[in-house]
Structure 1
Amino acid sequence: MPQFAVDGAELTYDDEGPRDAEDVPLVFIHGWTANRHRWDHQMAHFRADRRVIRLDLRGHGESSGTGVRTIEELTRDVTALVDHLGVDRFVPIGHSMGGMIAQTIALAHPERVARMVLVNSIGRTTYSRGRGLLMAASTRLPYRLFVAAQIQRAFAPGHPRREVKEYIRASAATPREVVMPLYSAMRAFDVLDRVGEIRVPTLMVHGYHDIQLPVRQMLRMAKGYPDAVIRVLDAGHELPVEKPAELTATLDRFLGGPAAGARP
């Protein structure tokens, strides 16, 4: 379980697979209150043939650090880690907030992104007035109840309650001083008017039943991308754990082929 020190935090990460693989490495970025194990199924599949990297974001999982308030700060952590590992170009694969980080990387460092995958992610969060008031009110709940409400509704109806409870427990272990500022940062995130600048092939995978970041918001974003592939699966917001095999197969088709993402 290696760790990397950056700006007062110790980031826990995994770096697996062959270093001499032709394909550029995959960098998996988890979402808000989650951890790197959201990607267990995908890591197990891809590490046989290519280099795969994942991390616990600052203040999440087994990484230390608090005081983070913006998506840009998390983006700097991810780029610092790949620099530390000697990775030049890579494929960022981000879930939810991780997809916001991936897009921020692609806009700030386009030369480093070979392809990109956005899982249940969007370029701008838009709410009705009623929904916005409800979300603002939810922040006044006791912390555990606030987290439980967010995670419960992230799963499609019918997902095993035992698993949902376990994800609530793990998410509530993420420090409040990390969770609440990043909740605000996600609500304020907006790159919708710039997504046309992201010219690499991009896969957007979304859950049909996602009520956290509805599929219509992803489709609105996709219209601005010059080279986007869209897949909608029968799941909610937590695709990596609701439909792990289907997501992995979708990634495999998009990333497949000899030396996918290599420089021409």
Structure 2
Amino acid sequence: MPQLHVDGATLTYDDEGPRDAEAAPLVLVHGWTADRHRWDHQLAHFSTARRVVRLDLRGHGESTGAGARSIGGPARDLLALLDHLGIDRCVLAGHSMGGMIAQTIALEHPGRVERLVLVNSIARMTYSRGRGLLMAVSTLVPFRLFVAANIHRAFAPGHPREEIRRHVRASASTPREVVMTCYAAMRDFDVLDRVGEIRVPTLLVHGYHDVQLPVGQMLRMAKAYPDAEVRIVDAGHELPVEKPAELTAVLDRFLTARA
């Protein structure tokens, strides 16, 4: 598997699909405590016709490095990877924290983004009462319990328990320092007053049952986007693994209609 050394971190990534495709490369960015395999379904589907890149953010999955103290840190990592791969302009898709990273790049480097896709993501972090309580007690409870509580809340009611347990185990393997610094970085993230500057076609996909980042927060953000398409899916916060085929179909229609 290819890796890139960036600023004290080793980033593991996948780069698949035809390099000579007319369509812009699709770059997939996962969320907090997750890894690049959140995008398995999208990679398999889209890499048949276009170049697809995905990475494990620093400290996540098979990448090393300390946690990000601001969303700008992983945004710089991703830009370094795009430079390394010779990708000047791409379709940038991010889930949850990955969407925050994608918005940061779209604002600070607008020429690098042809289209933007935000999955279960928002422009300003506003905690629900339950999420705020979890944050308040995060230093008082065992780390695995803190992670498990967050992951369990991320799925819509009725999702298979064994699959949730598998994601809890994977998330709990992320180093505590990485988990907590990224959590703080998300807490401080706020570009809501600037998203009107993002002029590229944007797709906002959200789970109706998302209690981590409630759909109402996404709809508030959508009003500020000049060119936004909104899709609500019967899922929770972990849309890429709860309804992978449905997410792929929504993304495919967006890219085809905008081609």
User: TM-score scaled by structure 2?
Assistant: 0.97
The code of the aligned residue for 1:38 comes to R
Distance across 2 between alignment mates of 1:9 and 1:130 = 33
Which runs of 5 or more residues in structure 1 are unaligned? none
Displacement of 1:194 in angstroms is 0.3
Distance across 2 between alignment mates of 1:144 and 1:129 = 21
Q: 8 Å contact 2:70–2:188 — kept in the other structure?
A: no
Count matched residues.
259
* Equivalence for 1:255: 255
Distance across 1 between alignment mates of 2:74 and 2:151 = 21
Pair 1:168-2:168 in alignment: yes
Distance across 1 between alignment mates of 2:127 and 2:109 = 30
* Equivalence for 1:126: 126
TM-superposition CA deviations, 1:201-257 (whole Å, max 9, x none): 000000000000000000000000000000000000000000000000000000115
The code of the aligned residue for 1:66 comes to A
* Equivalence for 2:65: 65
Q: 8 Å contact 1:207–1:232 — kept in the other structure?
A: yes
The code of the aligned residue for 1:189 comes to F
* Equivalence for 1:29: 29
Distance across 2 between alignment mates of 1:222 and 1:207 = 14
Q: 8 Å contact 1:155–1:236 — kept in the other structure?
A: yes
Displacement of 1:168 in angstroms is 0.2
Q: Equivalent residue of 1:54, what SS?
A: strand
* Equivalence for 1:239: 239
Pair 1:192-2:192 in alignment: yes
Displacement of 1:82 in angstroms is 0.5
* Equivalence for 1:108: 108
Pair 1:153-2:153 in alignment: yes
Which runs of 5 or more residues in structure 2 are unaligned? none
Distance 1:139 1:214, change over 3 A: farther
Identity across aligned pairs (percent)?
76
Q: 8 Å contact 1:69–1:178 — kept in the other structure?
A: no
The code of the aligned residue for 1:201 comes to P
Displacement of 1:129 in angstroms is 6.3
Q: 8 Å contact 2:67–2:182 — kept in the other structure?
A: no
Q: Equivalent residue of 2:136, what SS?
A: helix
How well do the aligned residues superpose, as a CA RMSD in angstroms? Answer: 1.3
* Equivalence for 1:12: 12
Distance 1:135 1:231, change over 3 A: same
